[in-house]
Amino acid sequence: MKLIANLIKNTLLEYFCVLVLLFAFSMKLQAEEQFITTSDGVKLYVNVKGTGLHCLYIHGGPGSGSYWMEKFMGDYLEKHFQMVYLDQRGVGRSSSPLDGNYSMERMTRDFEEVREALGISSWLVMGHSFGGMLQMSYVLSHPGVINGLIFINCTLSLNDSFGKSWLPKAIALAGDATPSTSLDTANSVYDRMLAIMPVLGERDLMWKIFFADRSNSQKMNETYAHFESWNSDQSEKILEFADYWQNLTKATSSVKQPVLFFYGKADWAIGPEHFQNVHFPNMILWGSEVGHMPFLENRIDLEKAITAYLENYKSLITRE
């Protein structure tokens, strides 16, 4: 009997050790930088850091990459969330699709494939700027896997943000140098923007749409200096897809998850009044004295907003 007991004991011990090793291996896989290959062969760069609620970061741009948020806000975020920093297809450290597919449906499928590869059942999503369009597409198509949403200076309608804020600000900055194409309202907002961008670039005025101080623009650009290469394919192609030009503010009333909608009162890229079209039923609306990059220019207020959202979120979970 003693021999049988020892065999059972040793077997259970070996089984326990195997479980511990498998768990440790699984955690090691999640905690490291890695590439996840999508069903259409794109290699997506993913970096999982921190502890707490699972949270996917959906960057803006298009084409900015996830590194800005990790660098300027990561120390705070990673205390409260297990952050999943993702460079979207055609951006930064990720590869580009061979067929050029940057459709909204394909992008949201990428998010799902990343979630499944990491073994996460559900998560929060956090987006910045253009990332708001992708967040909305994701929650509308896969509501069951999204527990909550954090919108940081996000647009939910490109025509509204670009047509009513970005473009008027650009025209005011360019003055008499504004191309006639940009002034002609018969042209699409996209074509009007493309026409004025070279003028803003030549006169070093573009930063004034996004920042309060030029030095902060330089600080943002310097964050990429140590990368040997940076994929910018997405930024050149994604806005050619018509589905990004739909007005998703109309769908906000159907989203039941708790939402933080943080906006800048001097954010000319999105529009200081863009929030007025947003009607999430369960929303903390937070206006801040900042432009488009709060994680750099008013981080204290952004932290307060996210902390308030987390407190509300956890109280809702407790009640359930």
Domain ranges of the chain: 1-31, 32-157+211-319
Predicted pLDDT of residue 196: 98
SS3 98: coil
Predicted pLDDT of residue 318: 63
Query: Other CB atoms closer than 10 Å to residue 23's CB: what's the count?
Result: 10
Q: What is the 3-state secondary structure (H, E, C) of 260-307?
A: EEEEECCCCCCCCCHHHHCCCCCEEEEEECCCCCHHHHCHHHHHHHHH
Predicted pLDDT of residue 31: 56
Q: What's the rounded Cα separation, in Å, for the pair 138 and 84?
A: 16
Q: What are phi and psi of 176, to 5 degrees?
A: -65, -15
Q: What percent of the chain has pLDDT over 90?
A: 83
CATH architecture of 32-157+211-319: 3-Layer(aba) Sandwich (3.40)
Predicted pLDDT of residue 22: 37
pLDDT of 98 higher than 80: yes
pLDDT band at residue 319 under the 50/70/90 scheme: low
Predicted pLDDT of residue 23: 39
SS3 54: strand
CA distance to 115, 119, 194, 283, 311, per residue, from 80 (Å):
19, 19, 39, 20, 11
Q: How high is the mean pLDDT of the chain?
A: 90
Predicted pLDDT of residue 261: 98
Reported pTM: 0.89
- Cβ proximity of 83 and 55 under 8 Å: yes
Q: DSSP label at 128?
A: E
Predicted pLDDT of residue 292: 97
Predicted pLDDT of residue 9: 41
pLDDT of 82 higher than 90: yes
Q: Check residues 220 and 7 and name the one with the higher pLDDT.
A: 220
Q: What is the mean pLDDT of residues 58-83?
A: 95
Q: Check residues 288 and 7 and name the one with the higher pLDDT.
A: 288
